[in-house]
């Protein structure tokens, strides 16, 4: 059976479910996507795509493969939905120590880092638009996704080509081949942090990592570049900036807190002394894993039940290619990256 002859149910219409649905529909499969329309991650995310892990001055996992693919993926969807949600993002890292600056200076000489690091210049060392104790460096090829537009346009694209059902999926109504009155071939769970309710996959080690962001008004922060030290500063419209994010492990709540606001403003004080005005605060929950690799694959006993989850803090970078590879795997023309395959946790299921 090719994908063309198959009907897939997808549960969850965040970044994961939307991307998998798009890939399946492009492969001519029939898709029914269930989403209960309460999103606490994909639409809260800053949507930043940063090729560098600053803390360790390493390249992000598989970045050389993820970046070219995601550019095509987002650009194609923009074209087909006549929208504009994928943008280049000039990014400047303010070094947090002399040691970090030394790391950067060493890495910028390596050929494999050159697509992502500009050579540090005199101007970077003396950058004075923000506080700058140790000098700064400019990242190349960083981007951001306007996440709310991506999610709404992604859903619109799917609803024009497949079935999009805005209701909560009820596990008790599922048999091996039917859900209520729908007969299906395979089912894919993309429920983000709510996987922990899923009867078949809840034993997988998925953590719920709360993150809060603060939108502020500033008259001094630069609007032409995203600054980064202790926190990110994402310029929005006019003099509004999104600042974030907190990492609150094992925390599945979506309430905003004063502690988080204080923490974010404390981190921002490494970049500016300005008394900024908080305007809006948001909280979401990342589906994370200890080994920082997604949870993708097939249930060992229910061979038509699959999961695509655990995108963590970098979903907007990894999801486009991982969803493509997942659909190749479903079509039996490709295999899963061993690092994401849930086989690594089969003893838990």
Ligand X SMILES: Cc1cc2nc3c(=O)[nH]c(=O)nc-3n(C[C@H](O)[C@H](O)[C@H](O)COP(=O)(O)OP(=O)(O)OC[C@H]3O[C@@H](n4cnc5c(N)ncnc54)[C@H](O)[C@@H]3O)c2cc1C
Q: For binding to ligand X (CB under 6 A), which residues are involved?
A: 11-17, 34-36, 38-42, 44-48, 168-169, 190-194, 211, 213, 244-245, 284-287, 309, 311-317
Q: How far is CA 107 from CA 31, 138, 170, in A?
A: 45, 13, 51
Question: In angstroms, what is the minimal distance from the CB of 69 to ligand X?
Answer: 14
Output 108 or 215, the one with its CB closest to ligand X: 215
Output 285 or 336, the one with its CB closest to ligand X: 285
Question: In angstroms, what is the minimal distance from the CB of 123 to ligand X?
Answer: 27
Output 136 or 288, the one with its CB closest to ligand X: 288
Rounded to whole angstroms, the Cα distance separating 169 from 163 reads: 14
Question: In angstroms, what is the minimal distance from the CB of 204 to ligand X?
Answer: 13
Question: In angstroms, what is the minimal distance from the CB of 279 to ligand X?
Answer: 16
Rounded to whole angstroms, the Cα distance separating 119 from 106 reads: 10
Output 109 or 168, the one with its CB closest to ligand X: 168
Output 124 or 282, the one with its CB closest to ligand X: 282
What residues contact residue 42 under an 8 Å CB cut-off, 6+ apart?
A: 14, 15, 16, 18, 147, 151, 192, 315
Rounded to whole angstroms, the Cα distance separating 246 from 286 reads: 11
Question: In angstroms, what is the minimal distance from the CB of 335 to ligand X?
Answer: 22
Q: How far is CA 210 from CA 170, 183, 255, 288, 312, in A?
A: 25, 36, 10, 10, 11
Rounded to whole angstroms, the Cα distance separating 314 from 48 reads: 8
């Amino acid at each position: 059976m090719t994908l063309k002859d198959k009907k897939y149910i997808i549960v969850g219409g965040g970044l994961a479910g939307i991307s998998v649905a798009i890939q399946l529909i492009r492969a001519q499969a029939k898709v029914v996507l269930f989403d209960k329309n309460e999103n606490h991650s994909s639409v809260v995310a800053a949507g930043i795509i940063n090729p560098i892990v600053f803390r360790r001055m390493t390249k992000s996992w598989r970045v050389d493969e993820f970046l070219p693919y995601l550019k095509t993926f987002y650009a194609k969807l923009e074209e087909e939905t006549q929208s504009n949600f994928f943008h280049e993002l000039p990014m400047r890292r303010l070094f947090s120590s002399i040691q970090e600056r030394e790391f950067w200076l060493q890495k910028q000489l390596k050929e494999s880092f050159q697509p992502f690091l500009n050579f540090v210049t005199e101007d970077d060392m003396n950058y004075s638009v923000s506080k700058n104790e140790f000098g700064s460096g400019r990242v190349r090829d960083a981007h951001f996704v306007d996440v709310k537009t991506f999610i709404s346009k992604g859903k619109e694209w799917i609803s024009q080509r497949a079935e999009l059902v805005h209701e909560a999926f009820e596990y008790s109504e599922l048999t091996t081949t039917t859900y209520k009155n729908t007969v299906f071939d395979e089912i894919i769970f993309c429920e983000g942090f709510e996987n922990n309710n899923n009867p078949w996959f809840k034993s997988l080690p998925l953590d719920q990592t709360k993150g809060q962001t603060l939108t502020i008004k500033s008259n001094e922060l630069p609007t032409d570049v995203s600054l980064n030290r202790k926190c990110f500063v994402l310029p929005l419209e006019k003099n509004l900036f999104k600042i974030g994010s907190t990492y609150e492990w094992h925390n599945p709540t979506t309430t905003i807190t004063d502690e988080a606001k204080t923490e974010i403003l404390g981190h921002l004080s490494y970049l500016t002394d300005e008394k900024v005005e908080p305007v809006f605060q948001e909280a979401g929950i990342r589906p994370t894993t200890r080994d920082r690799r997604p949870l993708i694959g097939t249930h060992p006993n229910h061979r038509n039940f699959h999961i695509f989850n655990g995108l963590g803090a970098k979903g907007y970078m990894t999801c486009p290619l991982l969803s493509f590879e997942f659909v190749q795997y479903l079509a039996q023309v490709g295999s899963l990256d061993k690092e994401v395959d849930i086989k690594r946790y089969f003893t838990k299921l």
